[in-house]
Chain A
Amino acid sequence: MTEKKIHVLDVGRMPYAEALDLQKRLVAAKKSGDERDFLILVEHPGVVTVGRRGNESHIRLPREALAARGVEVYDIERGGDVTYHGPGQVVGYPIIDLKHAGLDVHSYLRLIETAVIEALRAFHVESYTREGLTGVWTRLGKVAAIGIAVSRWITYHGFAVNVLRGITGFDLIVPCGLTTERVTSIEDVCGSPVEMKDARRELTAAFARALGAEAVAAQGDLIWKEAPL
């Protein structure tokens, strides 16, 4: 039994802007003394996000053309370049205090990678990191993207793991600015159907384990002002 807990908000499908707002509210809560650590799990409708290292040329279509396809574009405060989020992907936003967890920025990025690799083992998917890069790769290509922001040592943004086959949005961008990058998913690599809920469960368990914490469902006190569970 560990005393440390991570409070999991499994919010299902949620538009990007709403989830970003939720992250910011949790960061603000922690800044005003809430000691709980959180993990938001979400599936976004198709969206392109541009990080601080973002390069417009890494989006292959004009923003109007993306808008016409129902894909919004957000310039956001996380590290990294351009990425895509969409259905079939589990996105995780850990809101944790790095100082409290005894981590620094670098070790935290490595912790996320370790957790993703661990979670993928449950689906018999071998994955690994690449020297000098951040993310998780398999023999068929990149399966998880990572990009974070830190304010007063509190993290937000996080990781995105491709679960289902045929997430088409990546052809809209040059993922992470790597032109030769192939993007894959858990289903593509393991060759059989995977349930999103199983991916969420394994990612939650692996992340909590990596953090040395117990995953518990978050209570709906300060969080659900507009969208009750």
Chain B
Amino acid sequence: MKVEVKLPALGDSDTTEVTVSFWYFDTGEKVSEGDDLLEVLTDKAAFNVPAPASGKLVETSADEGQAVKVGDILGRIETEQ
């Protein structure tokens, strides 16, 4: 099963620009639920998006420097089942 990695609500995100900083993993690598998957930046916060499930990171759809919004799909994780 593929699980989508979405940008969670960071609060008041209408006025806050959020950009992708970098991914901690490459596609094809195994991740565990709760791992820091990628870092996104607001003005004063560096927020690490936690992996929503354990499995293999099969897709990263947001690149470094890209502006993203709450609910955007950032990548996908293929789980064991």
Check B50 against A52 for contact (C-beta < 8 Å). Answer: no
Check B36 against A105 for contact (C-beta < 8 Å). Answer: no
Closest to B33 in A: A152
Check A105 against B34 for contact (C-beta < 8 Å). Answer: no
Stretch from A15-23, A141-149, A209-217 at the B interface? A141-149
Binding site secondary structure of chain B: loop
Is A69 located at the chain interface by the 8 A CB criterion? no
Is B16 located at the chain interface by the 8 A CB criterion? yes
Interface residues on B, range: 20 to 34
| Chain B positions within 8 Å of A153 at CB level | 50
* Assembly CA distance A107 to B13 (angstroms): 11
* Assembly CA distance A195 to B32 (angstroms): 47
Check A51 against B46 for contact (C-beta < 8 Å). Answer: yes
| Chain B positions within 8 Å of A108 at CB level | 11
**1/0 per position for A83-122, CB-CB distance to B under 8 A?**
0000000000000000000011111110000000000000
Closest to B51 in A: A152
Is B67 located at the chain interface by the 8 A CB criterion? no
Closest to A132 in B: B15
Known: A104-B11, A105-B10, A152-B36. A79 touches B42 (CB 8 A): yes
Check B10 against A106 for contact (C-beta < 8 Å). Answer: yes
Is B29 located at the chain interface by the 8 A CB criterion? no
* Assembly CA distance A199 to B42 (angstroms): 29
Is A2 located at the chain interface by the 8 A CB criterion? no
Known: A151-B36, A152-B34, A152-B36. A77 touches B9 (CB 8 A): no
Partner of B9, one of A80, A104, A134: A104
Interchain residue pairs with CB less than 8 A apart (11): A52-B46, A104-B9, A107-B12, A132-B15, A134-B44, A147-B45, A148-B46, A149-B48, A151-B50, A152-B36, A153-B50
Extra A-B contacts (5), CB below 8 Å, given A104-B11, A152-B36, A152-B48: A105-B10, A147-B44, A148-B46, A150-B46, A152-B34
B residues at A contact (CB < 8 Å): 9-13, 15-16, 21, 34, 36, 39, 41-48, 50
